Structure 1
Amino acid sequence: MPTNEKWKYSIFITGIIVLAFNLRPAITSVGPIIGIIRDELNLDNWNVGLITSLPLLAFAFMSPIAPRIANRAGNERALLYGLIILLSGIVIRSAGPIIFLYIGTTLAGVGIAIINVILPSLIKGSFPAKIGLMTGLYTTSMSIFAAFGSGLSVPLTVNYGLGWKLSLASWSIITVIGIIIWLIAIKNSPAQHEVKLYEPSGKKLIRSGIAWQVTLFMGLQSFLFYVTISWLAEILKAKGYDVATAGWFVAYMQLISLPATFLTPIIAGKLKDQKPVVYGFGLCALIGYTGLFFNPSIIITTVWVTLIGIALGASISLALALLGLRTENARQAGELSGMAQSFGYLLASAGPIFIGFLFDLSGKWNSSILIILMMTIVMIIFGIGASRNKYVL
């Protein structure tokens, strides 16, 4: 490859990484301070859970629309639109009364949804021979900043006295940087095997069993991720940990997931089917979530949280890799991405609200943990089905 082409690819890959930086902090920064927001605004647990669920509802609504936007504007420009909408949502969320919190949170979800859907298709078209590597790279980048969002949330809010509004608004800095770098990356975009996404073939995908298994696996692993991000800190506080320690456990969970996040799609891409991967992280999830029933020492709690982190890191990166592995070209990858993230995130959006509602009813977390374990088992079942060596169409 000529030096000029290598330089273009390097810039473009950097742009993808910075895009990935913006995919989670606007959401994960909420969980550790959800109790502070609840108390300051005098909200119920199910109501404050809506703050985490709104982005997922936006994902569900926007995911089938995003391919149409990319078809008209091009993948790169559509991703830029996603960043701009995300920035407006972050700013509005912290700008005024409660209604602004909900409106801004929804807009942030719309922006993230556009990027979520289009990135797998962009990778399928630009790097068809390196889907596993590129998926691992961008999901790991996403997870790093997801962890920063959780870990820095309490210090920014409490230790530095910013309050929850300015703490959440501070993540707009990463988005501004992302817009600038992506504008440069667009000018260095490599030629794609299929430049545009086509209109989704909804009827064909709806009739595909594999497509539904990928979709439900995507939804269930997202259900577990967002429930854990939203309520793990509160569960650990109920076990006796202070708010800062509980927040750092959530951050640690995401940081410890990084090796699994990076390696899983690379390993998955080399296997005929991905069932061994599903068995591995499924076992980790079952053991880790079961541990939340107990009140162990900080060392044992770290073991449980480590297993949960490995499971969540591996499952999200496998779900995203399957969008490329179960399709034959970038067009199909875009269509499957839209379907999987639309139906999948609609399912996931119920998670934080439902788990918060269960706690409001019982005043204890055990029934919520039991539901999480049941959903883990169902996720494993659909993950095994989605891992079969077949294409969706």
Structure 2
Amino acid sequence: MNTPANHAASTLEAADELLVDAEAGSLPPPQATPVRGAAGRFLLGASLVLIAFNLRPVFSSASALLPEIRSELGLSALGASLLTTLPVVCLGAFSPLAPRLAQRLGTERTLLGVLLLLALGTALRGLSSVPLLFIGTALAGACIAVGNVLLPGLVKRDFAGRAALMTGFYTMALCAGAASAAGLTLPIEHGLGGSLAGALAIWALPALIVSLLWLPEVLRSGGQARRNGFHVKGLWRDRLAWQVTLFMGLQSALAYCVFGWLVPILRERGLDGVTAGAIVSLSVMVQAASCLIVPHIAVRGRDQRLINASLCGVAVIALLGLLFAPLSTVWLWAVLQGIGQGGLIAAAMTTIVLRSRDPDVAAHLSGMAQCVGYLLAAIGPLIVGLIRGWTGSFSWCAALFVALGLGAAINGWKAGRAVEINVHAVEKDG
């Protein structure tokens, strides 16, 4: 019997599988690997989780050292804005390439290349050169975009019975990577005698280590099967699809404002860099917990309008508290911001599933929402940097945060209605 509880459970499973920013349904199906024992499955699962950990330090490590980067390299306010914006742009620009690379090279080999190039890009950021800083950031951002798309297909293949559990683990790993870089980069810089280059480049080491752990999977994997794939007609002309996309993009803009600028905001308010990094680390880890809890709430309501709008309010109010409230309360505001922001990404991905009539529509809607959404999200950190450069203060960023939150709430309310997008998936010809 298809009871409401069963429907909620199946929807939650589907939403959990989308929580890592991936258009998994458009990938060629990875070829099944040979049967392995418990130890082999544990090592595979650990490798996937560790890969996920490496997909976020690029965003928050530079943010933690932004004042030092500007001082040592002579980076302008516009340059700082572009530095925090560039990897987000890459997420939107390069994610569509992942299915083609996976089909041509194989998922495992492509992922190994992602790890090696991610390590190279991260190392280039530590060569004390502005051009190499930007080249390395762009290379790392492109690798992260491809990695975001490849991981879910591997989880579905090798952990089909525990996809939601594994998704929870590597969602936590994504947040742990961001939190670690936010909280540890400045102490590492101090520990290296003030070496900015070393503190930026050291995040290449985890990627190199994980690439060695992943190499046996590449050697074990066989060829990659092809499939015709599906095309969804009319998706880009559907109003509800655009409301879902704008909800995704505007809430992502808030998220990357936090990743890119919250540490500098707190340092400008008078906190030392280590404390500011620790506060952001706490907020990001709370995001992970919220990201796991919110889908359970969202799928049990008649619709998602109220929860979508409410989470926007919590995230924005908490950001305003971090901007203006007494410094003695910033830890509380950081926790609230993590609850709101982590809940928003989970709500946005859950909304994609609930507004789709079948998995193929969900996969293509996810691709649209994330490709366009990440490009839209890049505007957020860029404008924060420009406002800081024009006014000499972060205070006026409050207007931007309110505008982004209001836009996300309006589109989240509309996207939260209990209706499905009126499109269908059609199989492509061979």
TM range, smaller chain: 0.7 to 0.9
Change (3 A) 1:83 1:4: closer
Match for 2:89: what amino acid? L
Q: 1:135 touches 1:317 (CA, 8 Å); kept in 2?
A: no
Q: Does structure 1 residue 378 correspond to structure 2 residue 410?
A: no
Q: Does structure 1 residue 263 correspond to structure 2 residue 300?
A: no
Q: 1:67 touches 1:199 (CA, 8 Å); kept in 2?
A: no
Task: Identify which range, 106-115 or 161-170, moves more after superposition.
Answer: 161-170
Larger Rg: 2
Q: Could you tell me how far apart the structure 2 residues matched to 1:118 and 1:320 are?
A: 17
Residues 170-217 of structure 1, C-alpha deviation per residue, up to 9 Å, x if partnerless? 11111112222333455788xxxx976766747643123443333222
Aligned to 2:321: 291
Match for 1:68: what amino acid? R
Match for 1:263: what amino acid? I
TM norm structure 1: 0.86
Change (3 A) 1:84 1:203: farther
2:118 to 86, 98, 105: 86
Q: Could you tell me how far apart the structure 1 residues matched to 2:251 and 2:141 are?
A: 18
Q: Does structure 1 residue 119 correspond to structure 2 residue 151?
A: yes
Q: 2:92 touches 2:370 (CA, 8 Å); kept in 1?
A: yes
Q: Does structure 1 residue 223 correspond to structure 2 residue 218?
A: no
Aligned to 1:52: 84
Determine helix, strand or coil for the equivalent of 1:23.
coil
Shift in Å, 1:218: 2.4
> Alignment identity in percent?
35
Shift in Å, 1:294: 2.2
Q: Does structure 1 residue 237 correspond to structure 2 residue 267?
A: yes
Aligned to 2:21: none
Change (3 A) 1:80 1:321: farther
Shift in Å, 1:84: 2.3
Match for 2:393: what amino acid? K
Shift in Å, 1:288: 0.5
Change (3 A) 1:245 1:117: same
Aligned to 1:212: 242
TM norm structure 2: 0.79
Matches within 5 A, 1:126-275: 132-161=164-193, 163-185=195-217, 201=231, 204-268=234-298, 273-275=303-305
Aligned to 2:374: 345
Shift in Å, 1:90: 0.9
Determine helix, strand or coil for the equivalent of 2:96.
coil
Q: Does structure 1 residue 17 correspond to structure 2 residue 49?
A: yes
Match for 1:278: what amino acid? N
Change (3 A) 1:313 1:230: same
Q: Could you tell me how far apart the structure 2 residues matched to 1:197 and 1:382 are?
A: 35
Residues 43-92 of structure 1, C-alpha deviation per residue, up to 9 Å, x if partnerless? 22221121121111211211222222223334333333322221221122
Q: Could you tell me how far apart the structure 2 residues matched to 1:187 and 1:333 are?
A: 32
Shift in Å, 1:10: 3.6
Aligned to 2:11: none
Match for 1:246: what amino acid? A
Change (3 A) 1:329 1:160: farther
Q: Could you tell me how far apart the structure 1 residues matched to 2:357 and 2:77 are?
A: 44
Match for 1:76: what amino acid? E
Aligned to 2:16: none
Give the length in aligned residue pairs.
389
Shift in Å, 1:314: 1.9
Match for 1:342: what amino acid? C
In structure 2, the gaps of 5 or more residues are 1-34, 425-430
Match for 2:100: what amino acid? R
Matches within 5 A, 1:98-113: 98-113=130-145
Q: Could you tell me how far apart the structure 1 residues matched to 2:220 and 2:313 are?
A: 43
Q: Could you tell me how far apart the structure 2 residues matched to 1:319 and 1:95 are?
A: 38
Shift in Å, 1:234: 2.2
Calculate the aligned-residue CA RMSD, in Å: 3.2
Q: 1:63 touches 1:113 (CA, 8 Å); kept in 2?
A: yes
Q: Could you tell me how far apart the structure 2 residues matched to 1:126 and 1:114 are?
A: 19
Shift in Å, 1:368: 0.8
Task: Identify which range, 54-63 or 287-296, moves more after superposition.
Answer: 287-296
Q: Could you tell me how far apart the structure 2 residues matched to 1:351 and 1:262 are?
A: 25
Match for 2:66: what amino acid? I
Q: Does structure 1 residue 29 correspond to structure 2 residue 64?
A: no
Residues 83-116 of structure 1, C-alpha deviation per residue, up to 9 Å, x if partnerless? 2221221122223521111101000000000011
Q: Could you tell me how far apart the structure 2 residues matched to 1:264 and 1:240 are?
A: 34
Q: 1:22 touches 1:145 (CA, 8 Å); kept in 2?
A: yes
Q: Could you tell me how far apart the structure 2 residues matched to 1:293 and 1:187 are?
A: 50
Determine helix, strand or coil for the equivalent of 2:378.
helix
Residues 281-314 of structure 1, C-alpha deviation per residue, up to 9 Å, x if partnerless? 223213202323424142x221111111112222
Q: 2:279 touches 2:334 (CA, 8 Å); kept in 1?
A: yes
Q: Could you tell me how far apart the structure 2 residues matched to 1:333 and 1:121 are?
A: 14
Change (3 A) 1:278 1:127: farther
Q: Does structure 1 residue 365 correspond to structure 2 residue 394?
A: yes
Determine helix, strand or coil for the equivalent of 1:292.
helix
Shift in Å, 1:124: 5.4
Residues 8-43 of structure 1, C-alpha deviation per residue, up to 9 Å, x if partnerless? 554433232112101101211111111110111122
Q: 1:221 touches 1:316 (CA, 8 Å); kept in 2?
A: yes
